[in-house]
Structures are given as C-alpha cells and as structure tokens.
Structure 1
Amino acid sequence: MHARPPDSPPPARFNAARYCLEANARTHPDKPALILVGDGDRAEVLSFGEVDRAVRAVAAGLLDLGLNPGSRVMIRMGNDADYAIVYFAALAAGLVAQPSSPQLTAAEAAFLLRDSGAAAIVAAEECPLDPEACGGRIVLRPADVARLKAGPALPAYADTAADDPAHLIYTSGTTSRPKGVLHAHRAIWGRRPMHDHWLGLRESDVVLHAGTMNWTYTLGVGIQDPWARGATTVLYTGRRDPAVWPALIDRYRATLFAAVPSLYRQILKYADLTAHDLGSLRHGITAGEALSPHLLAEWTAATGKPLYEALGMSEVSTYISTCPGVPVKPGSPGRPQPGRRVAILPPEGEPAPLAAGQTGLLAVHRSDPGLMLGYWNRPEEEAAVMRGEWFTGGDLARFDEDGYVWFEGRNDDVMNAFGYRVSPNEVEAVLVTHPDVQEGAVAERAVRADVRVIAAYVVPKPGTAPRREDLLAWCQERLAGYKCPREVVFLEALPRTPNGKVQRKRLAEAAG
C-alpha cells in the first residue's frame, strides 16, 4: 500500500491516523480491522470503514469541546475498542494522545495528568480519578465517547506536519517519577523497516497480539503496524489463560502471533498444543524481554514455527530484529533493520562508533524518523541521552562480525518487568515510606535461569519485624501491578560504595 523505500523520509505533511486508516477505509471498507474476542465465542468485529468513521466522529467531538491543536488527551481506559478509537481520534484531530495504563493508581494517574498538562482525560468507569487533579479539565467517560461516536464526523484528517507532536507516553527513567516521551506523527513512518524486517507483515495477515490495548507494544505491533499494511488485528479481552492462545490462533487462522517471552513459556507449560491446528501461523514474534536460547529451542521444537525477536524502546521504534530473511542466532535479538543507523559508542568521550567486538552504548542516529521528539519538560534528561548525533538508551552491547547485537548489561539500573521499563527509584520511593522500613532498594533478581523479577531488599527499622506480605501489599496499594516487587529479601545493611551510594548490582550477592 505504501510503496516508498523504508529509508525514505516521510512526506512533509503527514498524519499518522490518516496513514493507517484513510486508504484502507476507501479501498476495502468492509474488511475486518479489529476483532476483539471475549470469553467463550463472544467477539466484536469492526471494519476499516467503521473504525475510520468512529475515529473521525470522536475527533470532531474533541475539537467541538474546545481542545486546540497540540492539547494532550490522556486515555485511561480498559482493554476495549474505544481505547484505540480515542487514541487515533486524538491524532486525527491534531491533538496529542497520551495513553496510560488502567493499572495505575489514582495518585499515579494524577501525577501524569499534572505533568503532561493534559486538557482532557478519557477514562473508563472503573478507573479511579483524583478529583483535585481533574479540576478544570474535560473528563469523558464511556457514555460520552458513545455520544461522540454517534455525532458528525470530521470531513478530513488534520493537516499535520510529520514533525508535529502525535503521542506522549510515560516511561520509567533514572528518577523517582516517570518521564514523558513525546513522539511525532512520523513515528509510524519510522516503524516501516520492522514491517518487512521483523514482522514480515502482509496485507493478508491476521495478527493476534497477546497484550492489552493500553500497552505501547500492543498499540504499535498489534494495531498501528497491521493497519498501516491493511492487515487485520485480533485482540483478546477475556480471562487471562495461557491455554487460550493456541485456540485463538486456530479459530481466527492467525498468521502472526505477538507476545512477550514469558507468555510463550507459559503456553508451553500449560497449553495443549496438539489440540489445535496451528497451520495458519507463519511465525511468532516477541519483544519486551530477552528471549532465552532455551525457550527459543523449546518453542521451535514444540510447534515447528520460527520465533523472531526484536529490540526496541519507548524512545524509538523497534530497530533491531531477526526475521524470515535474517537467521536467528540464539541469545542475540538480531541485527539493525535496513534503513536504520545504529552504532556502538564508547561510554565516555567522543561518540565515535566502535568496531565489532568492542562493548559500548547501543545508539540510534537522531535522523531515524522513529526517534522521539524529546522528553516532556525534561531537558536535562534529554541532554543526558544524546551524544552528538546519537541517541543512547543505556544498553551496553557489542556487534559481532556478522552485525548481530549481543547484550552486556545496562549502563543504568532501569529494570524490565514483563516488558515494561520500571525505575527502581520509583519503587524505592514507595517502599521506604512503610513505617517498618529503615532502608530499601530494588533490583532485578533471577528466580530461574531465564526468569527475572523485581525484588525489594529491605533493612527493617530496629525493633520491628515487617512481614513480606505486608510490604508487598503496601506497594500494591500505591503502584501499578507491573511495578510491584514479587520478592522481598531482608538484609542487615545495603551494600554501598565508599561515597555511600547503594550498589544495586551487589544486592543479590549481599542476599547470599
């Protein structure tokens, strides 16, 4: 559908929602764009024509409420079609979509609302809102969205520039509070190399994604990418059961299946793969966590289907991968996709790319259209990740002689929890407010050879004996579920440097 080569720049006037929907609605309006599957046989099917109409209607309604170009619209909704409708409607209207997780507490959501300066928030009934934070802002609930969808549609998508802001996503950084990553409309154009060189995406594909609507992995790989190629998306909204995924592949004849490695592991453990026909599946795709060689071998042996890994981050689209044309090297996420400029830079000094075999910071050139516009109101953090013409995300890696990337750890302490980036500072800030905690630190902890969880390392106050369950509950009341520790380890003291800084990398060693 989009014939330009993957490394060409986007058109100067470019709207991401129009790119994904307008041509599809015109050429095949009745083709399923989104199939939402619930428990049992219940399914909601939206065609490209229906999605296009709903998106333009909600876009018109948002503008009628007095929102101006560039205004942020925070989305705090569940795993339903309206999440995608509102997201694309904001883009279609020239507003800035701000997706967020319904798992956030009211206090966490209030911080994002205040930090972004969002003019409107669209929230599900079950998502709690802080009344004070919402003061003076437009608040829309599901009934309001239904009313907007039934109204007149915007006659045309906003005439935005490729560099105009399109969406703002919050991610954990090196501070105790999440930071906003601002992307332009060109970000979807920047995803095109992965369509061919990771997903192997075709217009005839049916893409089953195991994530929920609010996750950027799902919004990108599960919705934006298929729609950019005119393919059909299938998402599941029912009870989370690993055994359901082979059944869904069979029922909807899915050709691509996307998940995190931990879910592939659960499918192998709990699902009966022989009970379903997986013949339609060309391959599985995975990101968010490192894919262990053992899991890769186990999945391939059990299904006979390839599994292709990719590496990406909130600040730039997935840019390193394997695919049908790039052989898998177990333990490596792959090679830079054609059209990408990727380098290994020395951690200190001049940003001159290193040779193969040398370890340094994994970097993406600032010319990549998928790269963020910047961090929202965080110029100091933005400056910290830019090295001349290169963006560095904190991963230490090296290239081998074949151009494959091999990880050597991180240059900072940001954790990876089931595909979400989580700042230890943010979790620690909650942990140490418990009345029985003298000191606390958080780090990843290996519980099996290929499974790592967030662990809290706690020094109790003298005379107290806090219980593991109480500390976990304390965090669960104040943090989104994916940020919460899964393990608690009690220590007499935290390991520190001579200058008094906690050495997170030595926490597991201190625990014995």
Structure 2
Amino acid sequence: MPPTANFPRQSLYMLIQTAASQFRHRPATAFNGALLTFEQIKDKADRLAASLHARGIRKGDRIGIMLPNCPQYPIAFFAAMRLGAIVANINPTYTPRELELIANDAGIRALVTLAPRGLPLDLEILAAGNFDELIAAGDPQTLPKVTINAEEDIALLQYTGGTTGVSKGAMLTHYNLFANVVQNALWHSYNTRRGEERMMMVLPYFHIYGQVVGLLLSAWNGTMNILIPKYDVNAVIAACKEYEPTFFPGVPTLFISLLNHPEARTCGLHKVKNFNSGAAPLPVEVIEQFEQMSGAILREGYGMTETSCTASTTPQLAPRKLGSIGIPVTSTEFKIVDVDDYTKELGINEEGELCVKGPQIMKGYWKKPEETAHALRDGWMLTGDIAKMDEDGFFYIVQRKKDMIIVSGFKVFPNEVEDVLFGHPAVLEVCAVGKPHPYRGEAVKAYVVRKAGATPTAEELIAFCTERLAKFKVPSEIEFIDALPKTAVGKILRRELREKEPTNL
C-alpha cells in the first residue's frame, strides 16, 4: 500500500455509473440462481430514482433501507445516491420499536423493506416485492442534475450501538466512503483482477463492513457478489461449491462455524485468494486452525462505523504477525494515548486508547454535538479501544475500554481470558465478562459454548486457565450455554451477557 493517496471527491453514484460502463455485462449479483449485471443494476437504480423523485424525494432527504442481502439493496442504495438522498441502514430483524427509534431520529421520509405491514410509522413505505412496478414507472429522463459536495454532503447515516447501548447515527460523507473504498482497493490491488473476481457476501449490506468491503468496493472492482440473505453455514458451503468465490470477507464466528463444518475441506475454500476477518477480535488459535484446514491465508483488519469501515489491515506482501490488526491503511495515522489524558501520547508497547486520523473519519454523530465533540479531537477519532504498538509499527487491540474487568484494582482484559479458553480442545466459543464481587469489586465469569460431543466441566476449564493465567485473571465461574448472543453481522453481544449478572451483591 502506498503511504498516501489522493481520493475522489465525487458522488458514490459514480461507482455504479462507472461500473456499468467498464463492466457492463459482468454479473454484479448472484442471488437464488439469478444474475444481474452492473448495467442492469444501474438501469434499475436510475428508474427507481425517477420514481422516488416523482414521489417527492429530494437531495438531503433520508431514505431507510431495511433489507437483507438481495439485489434490491444495491438498486435502492444507488437510486438514493443518484438523487443525493441520505441512506439510513436498518437491520431487517429489528422490532417495530427499534425501527421507530431510528426512523424518528433520522427523520426518514421513505422506507424500503420486504415486510411493509404493521409498521407504526407515518412515512412512504416501498415494498421491495413491488420493485418491478416502481422501476417500470420511472423515467430516467425526468431525473434532475444533482450537485454533490463530497466532503460535506452526507451519503450514509450508519447507526451504531448494537453492542453499546443507545444508538448514534454516524454521518459518513461521499468523500469518507469513497476514500475508504480506494484504501481497500489499494490493499487488494496486487492480486485483484478487476472484472473477474467473485466475493462471498455473507456480511449484510446494512452493516458498514458489508457496505464498504462488499457493495462499494465490488462496484469499484467489478466484482460479482454472491448474496447470502441470512447466515446459514450450509448455504455458504453450497454457494462455495456453485460459484467458487475468490474473495471472502467475514467475522470470527463465521470462520469458526466453517472450521467445524464437515464439508469445509471439500467445498472449494482453497480457491479463495483473500480471507479477511473484522468486526471483532480473531483468536490466534482460530487463524492457525482455519489456515491449516483451508490452505489459504486468513488476514485480520480493524475498523469501526466511525472510520467508514477499514482503518488498518494485515500487510499483503510483508511478514505478518498473528494477533495483530496490522498497520494503518493508506493516508491513515494511528497513535496511542493515555486513557485518562488524551494529550499524553504513549510509546512502544504501552497500552492506551487508540486514536485514528484519516480521510475516512466520519463527519460526526447526527444531531449529537456533545458526543461528536467527545469522539473527535483535533481531527483524531478516539476509538474507545485499548491498544498498543510494537517496535515494528504493528498494532494490537487489547480490549474495549468499557469491557475491562477490574479485579481488586487489577485490570483484566476479556480477550486474554478468551484466548486461553479458545486453546482448550472442547471449547467452540467463549465470552468473558465481569460480575460483581463483594470483596474484589468484580470477578471474571466466562460463558462457554462447547464443541459437539464435548463434555468438559467448569472445574476442568478453570484448572486449564489456572495453569496459564495470573490468579486474578482466572474465571471464578464458568457457565455453559448453547449459543452466544450475537448481532446480525456475528459480533458477540457482550453487553447482554453482562446484563445477566445481578448488580446487587
């Protein structure tokens, strides 16, 4: 990756416009056996934009897209971009209450959804099942010219908070997102054949990871997206056999489930050129086991909604370090500061809060100036992640600040406990949290999902930890559960497990 680059100051609509010209007849999506080309996506998006314009949608209006991975998503997204409207992504599994909170906060004027009935909202509901009618009614010749100030105009309101509590809408401009697309493209450039790749899209488009690395980067590179609407490991295995993906972004829970599937070794994973993991820490044991199983390299990166997705990644051609999130992407800077004093920058191998600066950093939080002022300082984004940098400039995430467990005044990072437990042959998944303790303040508790057929006892796992961790880090309790709570993208909902613990001692 070059250290710096110039980034397009254009509307994101230019991605599909250019793709339709350069990769006209190349499939853009594969869904339930049907293919749509980039030219077809653009044509349908233009016609839908004309229908939306006829219904009064204008530049700056907010359009909610509440869809799983399906061809209607890119059509709706690029229709909004053509009008200069702002997309608010909404998880299609949200309840009416959750939908209403986002719709009211964003001021959504129209909602694109598969399930239009029973929604407690007074806004324009566009059923994806009726897209053919909406598209047929639209005349692209009626579309107005829309001028976009890429550095100021918001393209996406991406709501965060699935794992942190109260949702906030991160304002991502056309420039933010276009810059991150190019940053990712530069990282992939050495082994990407534009117009020829196939990407497995299990990641939902409505998540920032799927939005940028899937939808937008694929338009830039002319990559076909193999769409999986809802994660099912058997569906992924079948799609791998049928389409032979060459790129495969995912999250740790996805790679763990593949690792434990009996057909994973024979479904064609060895043809994948790039496996990339993000959204949550990836245990080193999982990397090693997955690479042994697949014969391919599994790389890890780091980013967040507020960084338009990617902020760092494992170098492609340089030696990597397992457990590291790699180095900052092009035109991006990292620094580590004291947790209690932002102005104090720390040195090599000192643990502190990670701060990020770059063209992909959000404009701010929608209608939340105080939260914006707290997160953005002099152009730097305070991530809330505890990290360190080694002598070679590689960065390592230690833990979220809010996830730290304080035992008798000593800091315990859940990731360290989880990494140890992942090393036990009977453990499939694990999440460590703090639970109130009358003497120590907090104690460590681990929720464990056992591998099929395995029957370890809590005492056995505690003894396993005792041999590998300082006494104050060893879980005082282990609870076996069938599955860990997760977000739609597969990130473990640590907060839900913490909230299960009584607050009164």
Q: Deviations over 1:16-62 (max 9, x none)?
A: 121x21122113311111112x3xxxx12110100111111111221
How far off its partner does 1:284 sit? 1.0
Among all aligned residue pairs of Structure 1 and Structure 2, give the percentage whose two residues are the same amino acid. Answer: 24
Task: Tell me the equivalent position of 1:26.
Answer: 21
Q: Deviations over 1:184-220 (max 9, x none)?
A: 0112322122223268544122111222333222222
Matches within 5 A, 1:465-480: none
Pick one of 172, 177, 180 that aligns with 2:169: 180
Matches within 5 A, 1:126-205: 128-130=118-120, 134-135=121-122, 137-150=123-136, 151-153=138-140, 158-163=146-151, 164-172=153-161, 176-191=165-180, 192-197=182-187, 201-203=192-194, 204-205=196-197
2:436, 2:34 → 1: CA distance?
47
1:187, 1:174 → 2: CA distance?
23
CA RMSD of aligned residues (A): 3.3
Task: Tell me the equivalent position of 1:217.
Answer: 209
Change (3 A) 1:369 1:244: same
1:369, 1:385 → 2: CA distance?
16
1:231, 1:221 → 2: CA distance?
11
Name structure 1 gaps, 5 residues minimum: 416-442, 460-471, 496-512
Q: Please state if 1:359 is matched with 2:355.
A: no
Q: Is the 8 A contact 2:184 2:310 kept in 1?
A: yes
Query: What is the DSSP-based 3-state SS (H/G/I as helix, E as strand, rest coil) of the residue aligned with 1:119?
Result: strand
Change (3 A) 1:244 1:176: closer
Change (3 A) 1:198 1:449: farther
1:490, 1:265 → 2: CA distance?
25
Query: What is the DSSP-based 3-state SS (H/G/I as helix, E as strand, rest coil) of the residue aligned with 1:188?
Result: helix
Change (3 A) 1:6 1:60: farther
How far off its partner does 1:454 sit? 8.7
2:96, 2:403 → 1: CA distance?
26
1:176, 1:486 → 2: CA distance?
10
Matches within 5 A, 1:289-368: 289-316=280-307, 317-349=309-341, 351=343, 353-365=345-357, 368=358
2:233, 2:145 → 1: CA distance?
39
Q: Please state if 1:66 is matched with 2:38.
A: no
Q: Deviations over 1:224-245 (max 9, x none)?
A: 111112222111236x432443
Q: Is the 8 A contact 1:172 1:414 kept in 2?
A: no
Task: Tell me the equivalent position of 1:269.
Answer: 260
Query: What is the DSSP-based 3-state SS (H/G/I as helix, E as strand, rest coil) of the residue aligned with 2:42?
Result: helix
2:419, 2:8 → 1: CA distance?
48
How far off its partner does 1:170 sit? 0.6
How far off its partner does 1:258 sit? 1.5
Amino acid at match of 2:243: Y
Query: What is the DSSP-based 3-state SS (H/G/I as helix, E as strand, rest coil) of the residue aligned with 1:331?
Result: coil
Query: What is the DSSP-based 3-state SS (H/G/I as helix, E as strand, rest coil) of the residue aligned with 1:59?
Result: helix
Q: Deviations over 1:302-335 (max 9, x none)?
A: 1110011110100013111114224321111111
How far off its partner does 1:414 sit? 10
2:89, 2:432 → 1: CA distance?
24
Task: Tell me the equivalent position of 1:378.
Answer: 368
1:485, 1:9 → 2: CA distance?
39
Query: What is the DSSP-based 3-state SS (H/G/I as helix, E as strand, rest coil) of the residue aligned with 1:358?
Result: coil
Change (3 A) 1:255 1:53: same
Pick one of 81, 84, 89 that aligns with 2:74: 84
Task: Tell me the equivalent position of 2:7.
Answer: 10
2:325, 2:118 → 1: CA distance?
38
How far off its partner does 1:105 sit? 0.5
1:186, 1:453 → 2: CA distance?
37
1:146, 1:454 → 2: CA distance?
48
Change (3 A) 1:360 1:257: same
Q: Is the 8 A contact 2:70 2:227 kept in 1?
A: no
Query: What is the DSSP-based 3-state SS (H/G/I as helix, E as strand, rest coil) of the residue aligned with 1:318?
Result: strand
Amino acid at match of 1:262: T
1:480, 1:235 → 2: CA distance?
14
Amino acid at match of 1:276: C
Name structure 2 gaps, 5 residues minimum: 406-413, 423-428, 438-480
Change (3 A) 1:455 1:29: same
1:123, 1:198 → 2: CA distance?
33
What count of residue pairs does the alignment treat as equivalent? Answer: 434
How far off its partner does 1:174 sit? 9.4
Task: Tell me the equivalent position of 2:110.
Answer: 120
Q: Deviations over 1:412-450 (max 9, x none)?
A: 3499xxxxxxxxxxxxxxxxxxxxxxxxxxx99959824
Q: 298-307 vs 156-165, which deviates more? A: 156-165
Instruction: Return the TM-score normalized by structure 2.
Output: 0.77
Amino acid at match of 2:178: W
Pick one of 192, 214, 237 that aligns with 2:229: 237
Change (3 A) 1:198 1:412: farther
Instruction: Return the TM-score normalized by structure 1.
Output: 0.76
Q: Deviations over 1:94-136 (max 9, x none)?
A: 0001111011110010000111111222222267511xxx22x
Matches within 5 A, 1:485-500: 493-494=503-504
Q: Deviations over 1:148-194 (max 9, x none)?
A: 22221266873311121101011118974211111101123221222
